[in-house]
Amino acid sequence: MSEDLKIRPYARLLTMLGDQLIKNEQVALTELVKNAYDADANFCDVRFINFTEDERSTNDSCIVVEDDGYGMSYEIITKHFLNPATPIKKIGTGLRKSKKGRVCQGEKGIGRFSMLKLGKVVTIISKEKEDATIHKVLFDFEKYDEDFLTELEKSKEIFLDDIVIKYEEIDIKALPQDCSIAQNGHGTIIKVESLKGDWNQDKIKQLSRDMIRFTPFEVDEDDIVDNKDFSINILVNEQLKSYKNDDLDNIKNIVFHKALYKVKGEYSQEGKTLSFSYVEANKKPQTVKINISSEETQDKESLWFKGLTVYRKELSEYFDCGSTTTCGSFRFQFYIFDFKANPNEPYGLSMEEKDKIRNHRVFLYRDDIRVQPYGSVDDDWLQIDRKRAADKAGNMFSNDQLFGQIKITKAQNEHLIDKTSREGIIEDNGSFKQLITIVRGLLVYLRTKIYQNYIYTEQKKKEIKIIAQEKVKTKIKELKETLKDDTKSLNVLDEIEKDFNKQEEVYKTRLDTAERLAGVGLSVEAASHDIMLTIDRLKDNVHQTFIDTASPMFADLTKIHKDSETAEGLIGLVYMKMKDLQQLFVSSKQRPKLTNVIDIVKKIQSIYAKQYDDNGIKVEYEIVGSPVKAKIIDAILYQVFINLFDNALYWLKYIDGERKVKIKLDGFSQSVIFSDNGIGISEDDAPFVFEAFYSGKGDEGRGLGLYIAQKLLNRYDYDISLLLKNYEKIECGANFELSFVSEDK
């Protein structure tokens, strides 16, 4: 026996398309608003009718969604609206655009069934402008249970084609005179009754927030610009909720006056570039262009970006062998705030302002319509909080302190496809992950390259305030001398001085505690940093010695002796750092001795010899005058030059062409200049390179190497400084001068 079988879906499919597929009632209503947008409506009203005074739903409540769009004809209703997965949306080539030129949001042909998430009785009234007929469609599912398994409380097999939808033509006199169809001659009204969910004030407020973010808004020099040709109104018992203007005005004021950084730019998939401009604290705009492809010309900003972990571990794979991403080009806009600043400081925020910022995260828009749920308070779609938890928090902004918008289009981002549930982008093809990774890389760059300079500038200002306190004491003494004959004024001044001294004591106590804790933390951090660095070099050294002794007959005893001597020095450094860790910087029993600096430099060079050879880095020496000597513990010099060699290795790996380190030892000035031909250090970074935890290596660096080197040399009245003037430099990159002459000599 053979026969042709047909698929006959159960009516329960309607539940899956509407009730189960759509996340919640707010998303369901958003889908109906999208339909109004696609229909070229100028407005869409969402009315909550017969609600209580505290905005709660009752058995008599209903929701009405009304627009002045182009409406539906009988053919559209019967052949398309009532048929799930309408093929018309996939027929033809190119983008589906409305008469106004809007890119239509609907793709699946099932978003309309979101109305079944809202209630069991749905009445649709629609009229086209050129059609004299007004169409009424009634979905009445009250006699069925939620899953269409019973009819009038009796179990029954109910198939989709058993469901009857009632249609009729109605007269315009049957409509209220103030409705969109009566006034404009066209539009659609959807009335939902027998509501399924319990509505309350919080739900309505959340819907209002979602409608604010339905279309993107941009902050220009004068005002906030949002989508002026499509307005969404929320009404409760016919009272208009003025949610949008108030919220936008608040955001406008916060952005204008409190946003520390305003960033705006784009990613070009064709050009493989990130280009953006940023304004810091209302200063002049700065522009940055980053070539992400390893094949492009490598400027300083691009090399800096490629030093980030997110590039080396994730992004680089997209650009290998001339390839590029599949996510497509996109635009972005970010506003970054300083949540640590006091409210009375220029860019400090009040608690109310912080709460408003927290409610505006990073939203994703496709053709100027929001893609849910990205940007919701509980949705970490850019994995910002996850990265902060897994890595150093200082490498990434918190979700709280920034909000922004990422804009994609159907034309340029064809691989970023909406899920059927209307909640998010399909992630199977990897394109969405690429977009996330590029954005996260940009945010890491902004945090570790640009924002950290602001942090250290603010720290310097606070240090200046501490100095200012000493001036206050001096002024009080001068004032006392002036008022020595005015007893009453002196008594008032004494009270002021007592209060000031009390506050200073509290401040000093807290500062001492903080410094003591910071000292403990810094000692552990510094020790672990140097120990791991030294052990890594020691492993290479021991491994090379193992190779050299594999064939005893051909072993180079001189080289083996030198390697053993180097290993001994490295072990000595580890031993000393462990003692420092145990004693929290209490000096060991080692005593300084007069050391020939070039001997230490060449030992460290031998430690890095293999890595330098592997990366094509040459080391050259220039020796002037007598030997440069220092009275110091050898391990200290090991540590200083390990950091210099390690930094040069890190940055020279990212440049094309000749890679070189040149070391000048000047016996006349008893100084050493350590230079390379890498990307160098910018004038913006220069004031901070010797600060603790300030790193030029982005999210990978700890920011301790140069800080520790300077502190250690200062213990022996020596110093290390950065050379910025061209006439001082030897090579075009980073140039550091080490002085082995005490200031008092």
DSSP 486-517: -HHHHHHHHHHHHHHHHHHHHHHHHHHHHHHH
What does the alpha-carbon distance between residue 64 and residue 29 come to, in Å, rounded to a whole number?
A: 10
Three-state secondary-structure class, residue 98: coil
Structure confidence at residue 58 (pLDDT) = 94
Structure confidence at residue 474 (pLDDT) = 74
Tokens of 262: 């305003």
Structure confidence at residue 20 (pLDDT) = 66
488 against 645, higher pLDDT: 645
| Position 110 confidence tier, pLDDT thresholds 50, 70, 90 | low
Specify the amino acid at residue 731.
Answer: E
| Position 391 confidence tier, pLDDT thresholds 50, 70, 90 | low
484-543 pLDDT, tens digit per residue, is 777 777 787 788 878 777 777 776 665 444 444 443 444 454 456 567 777 877 887 787
| Position 168 confidence tier, pLDDT thresholds 50, 70, 90 | very high
The Cα angle at residue 266 between residues 94 and 224, in degrees rounded to 5: 95
Whether pLDDT at 678 is above 60: yes
Taking residues 664-690, report their average pLDDT: 86
Summary mean pLDDT of the chain = 81
Whether pLDDT at 702 is above 70: no
Give phi and psi for 276, each to the nearest 5. Answer: -155, 160
Helix (H) or strand (E) run with residue 540 in it:
helix 487-548
Structure confidence at residue 568 (pLDDT) = 79
Whether pLDDT at 455 is above 80: no
Structure confidence at residue 405 (pLDDT) = 92
Taking residues 723-737, report their average pLDDT: 91
Judged by average pLDDT, the poorest of 44-48, 315-319, 612-616, 669-673 is 315-319
Whether pLDDT at 181 is above 50: yes
Structure confidence at residue 526 (pLDDT) = 44
Structure confidence at residue 303 (pLDDT) = 80
Look at residues 479, 619, 585, 606 and name the one whose alpha carbon lies nearest to residue 537.
606
Whether pLDDT at 222 is above 50: no
Structure confidence at residue 639 (pLDDT) = 81
What does the alpha-carbon distance between residue 639 and residue 143 come to, in Å, rounded to a whole number?
A: 82
Structure confidence at residue 87 (pLDDT) = 62
Taking residues 15-44, report their average pLDDT: 84
Considering the chain, what percentage of its residues have pLDDT values greater than 90?
26
| Position 547 confidence tier, pLDDT thresholds 50, 70, 90 | confident
Residues 315 and 302: beta-carbon distance below 8 Å:
no
What does the alpha-carbon distance between residue 182 and residue 547 come to, in Å, rounded to a whole number?
A: 92
> pTM above 0.95?
no
Judged by average pLDDT, the poorest of 119-128, 360-369, 403-412, 572-581 is 572-581
What does the alpha-carbon distance between residue 40 and residue 631 come to, in Å, rounded to a whole number?
A: 81
Structure confidence at residue 86 (pLDDT) = 66
Whether pLDDT at 587 is above 60: no
Within 418-486, where are the H helices? 431-445, 452-482
Q: Which residues contact 281 (CB under 8 A, 6 or more apart)?
A: 260, 261, 346, 347, 454
Q: In the block, which residue shows the tokens 């980053």? A: 290
Whether pLDDT at 226 is above 60: no
